[in-house]
Structure 1
Amino acid sequence: MNEFDTPTFRLAVSQFDQAAEAMHLDHNLRERLKQPQRSLVVSIPVRMDDDHVEVFTGYRVQHDSSRGPSKGGVRYHPNVNLGEVAALAMWMTWKCAVAGLPYGGAKGGVAVAPKQLSHAELQRLTRRYAAEIFPLIGPDKDVPAPDVGTDAQVMAWMMDTYSQQVGYAVPGVVTGKPLSIGGSLGREEATGRGVVYVTLEALQHLQLSIDRATVVVQGFGNVGMHTALIMEQEGARVVAVSDVTGGLYNEKGLNIRELLERYKTKGQTLKDTKMGDWITNEELLRLPCTVLVPAALSEQITVHNAAAIRCRILAEGANGPTTLEADRILEDNGVFIIPDILANSGGVIVSYFEWVQDLQRFFWNEADIRNRLHDIITSAFHQTKLFATEKRVSMRMAALMNGIDKVAQAHLQRGLYP
């Protein structure tokens, strides 16, 4: 597994090993599920606007397809590598299983800084990447979606590139598309809305009032901003948010709607809005609060800062934001952790709705989508909580063990080919 050997992949495998040991998983299955089913590394030559050709490296990893087509986002970020993509694909497998979706896990990415590309360069990069991974993707094989550094426009280009190859429109090849070409209502805010739904269940479980809850959100991308906005709408006081440059803190609460207007619509930086005190991301994580939502990148909460975390609930909007060592410290300090494969599953749940709508050519209204999302993700929360209580394990181990068991059962029923 040397080609996958990165800190993120080691974290995913360590989590898996811990859960597999606790559930006495069959050794043969254990070895199979540590490895991705299929990995593709591609070269992506792109003609830049100044006419020189630059070659980027892209990836698509399918971890498992025993329960159905594989499903997972496409990430554009300078630090994308094979190990990170393989780890994210593994987490997607467990995430889909925990939510009861008929998918396996996949992930893709390109090592690139997308904001440094022009619109035309980004389109050429995306279309060439889609063409290179074309043999692996399809509505019945592997369905990409947006992730860090990608959006609905990138998905539209991928869908069009695939459709040009086969000669007709195939909206179900990707999710997270614009509404005009088969996208779903409620998809853009789905991950953040899911984080809020499970957080509300956790507050109720701990007998804490939403009206008195204070919320801190690390990361102000798609997941973070929607989480902050919807938490505010639900009655919580959002006291701090941050992006990669740093964070804003206002003890009395930030006006998230106004902040978004300045940040997204008017293009101001968080610091330029002057709506709160300027703090570092490290300081933000240590703020006293009811709910902390790490919604940035992996491994933000480690053995070095876990003891200083002062939240009651940790709702993981990002993938893998907490290391195993940090987990133990947080649990000892009484922090209630809603693990990533449960907390941020709203995105893939509504992606599933989009895929179903595309295949049926029949579209639902937004109320239907919100209600179905609420039913699925809160049911997954309560199943995980019950499992944790019965087995006397953490919420993370309960979610992992539950997800792994569903995938293991699929493998045992299907058998080994040939």
Structure 2
Amino acid sequence: MTTIGKSTFVIQGFGKVGSSLARHLHDLGGKVVAIADSRGATFNEGGVDVPRLLGHVYRGGSLWDFSGGTPLPSDADFLCIPCDVLVPAALGGVINARTAPRLQCKAVVEAANAPTTAEGDAILRARGIPVLPDVYANGGGIIVSFFEWVQNLQNFRWDEDDVTRRLDRYMTDSFRDIHRVSKDRGVPLRVAAYLTAVQRVAASEVNRGFAG
């Protein structure tokens, strides 16, 4: 099984989601080889020095003029840089009928909302490239918002370690459920995620007495 420390990542988007993801992957030993935003991109086959890049951007610099990598345009070709995991974390519809056939990744993790069109999804499925869908992959923010609501409602506070531990449990349990449904029913992870969500809502309605 490939671990994060042995994997390469390409991230499209360097806002709140993309930059945080890049930092966490770097901290876990992952090799982020390319990062793009709306103004340009940087590439380093040996791995981008993410902490240094974050400092550069914080001081007003751009990915394009970062000295720790090769500048690239942030166009559709960026998505086709070879990697283990491609993470679209910015725009919708970027993996489509034109780009999906040219991707050189082993998996896609949808950190953006709807980054893959129906046509692109079908092409990736035919090519055997698994997609971890947005409905799951970028759900962590919603879960933490729920945690915030719970704390406000009950007038108490969890520290960062508590939040991280609870989030990890929610996301891990959800992935196991989605993966199990995908294997048992022979459906893509996206379909499995929807099936899991519908089953959970239906079970909740039954438990509350709204359905029989």
Under a length normalisation based on structure 1, what TM-score does the superposition of the two structures give?
Answer: 0.48
Structure 1 position 372, deviation (Å): 0.6
Q: Deviations over 1:242-299 (max 9, x none)?
A: 11112111111110001001102x0112212232122223122001101111000211
Q: Does 1:385 align with 2:179?
A: yes
TM superposition shift of 1:363: 0.3
- Find out whether 1:374 has 2:144 as its counterpart: no
Contact 2:13–2:37 (Cα < 8 Å) also in 1: yes
Provide the residue aligned with 1:275 in structure 2.
Answer: 68
SS at match of 1:314: strand
Give the corresponding residue for 1:414. Answer: 210
Render the CA deviation track for 1:200-234: whole Å, top value 9, x for unaligned. Answer: xxxxxxx1132221111000000000001100100
SS of structure 2 residue aligned to 1:293: strand
CA contact (8 A) 2:64 2:72 kept: no
One-letter identity of the residue aligned with 1:263: V
1:212 equivalent in alignment to 2:25: no
Q: Which residue number in structure 2 is paired with residue 362 of structure 1?
A: 156
Q: Aligned-pair distance for 1:324?
A: 1.3
Structure 1 counterpart of 2:69, one-letter code: G
- In the aligned structure 2, how far is the partner of 1:389 from the partner of 1:213? 24
Counterpart of 1:272 in 2: which secondary structure?
A: coil
**Counterpart of 1:326?**
120
Residue 408 of structure 1: CA displacement?
Answer: 4.5
Does structure 1 retain, via aligned residues, the 8 Å contact 2:44–2:68? yes
> Against the structure 1 CA distance between its residues 353 and 280, is the aligned structure 2 distance closer, same or farther, given a 3 Å change threshold?
same
2-side partners of 1:209 and 1:363: how far apart?
34
Check conservation: 2:18, 2:89, Cα contact below 8 A.
yes
The residue type equivalent to 2:22 in the other structure is A
8 Å Cα contact 2:65-2:71 kept in structure 1: no
% identity of equivalent residues:
38
Answer yes or no: is the 8 Å Cα contact 2:81–2:104 preserved in 1: yes
**Could you tell me how far apart the structure 2 residues matched to 1:306 and 1:348 are?**
28
Counterparts of 2:177 and 2:204, CA distance in 1 = 19
CA contact (8 A) 2:42 2:66 kept: no
Write the mapping of 1:4-403 to structure 2, written as runs, cut at 5 A. 207-264=1-58, 266-281=59-74, 282-403=76-197
Structure 1 SS opposite 2:65:
helix
Q: Match of 1:274, as an amino acid?
A: S
Q: How many pairs were matched up?
A: 208
Higher Rg of the two aligned structures: 1
Letter in 1 for 2:60: G
Instruction: Give 1:406 deviation, angstroms.
Output: 3.0
AA aligned to 1:403 is A
Letter aligned with residue 222 of structure 1 = K
Give the secondary structure class of the aligned counterpart of 1:311. Answer: coil
- The 3-state SS of whatever aligns with 1:373 is helix
Q: Which amino acid aligns with 1:216?
A: V
1:409 CA drift (Å): 5.1
Contact 2:109 2:131 (C-alpha < 8 Å) held by counterparts: yes
Instruction: Name whichever structure is richer in strand by fraction.
Output: 1
- Say what the alpha-carbon RMSD is for the aligned residues: 1.5
SS at match of 1:296: coil
- Contact 2:107-2:131 within 8 A present in 1 as well: yes
State the alpha-carbon separation in 2 of the partners of residues 335 and 310 from structure 1: 10
* Structure-2 separation of matches of 1:352 and 1:373: 10
Q: What's the counterpart of residue 35 of structure 1? A: none
Gaps of 5+ in 1: 1-206
Report the TM-score when normalising by structure 2. 0.93
Cα distance in 2 between the residues matched to 1:367 and 1:394: 33
Equivalent residues of 2:108, 2:132 under 8 A apart: yes
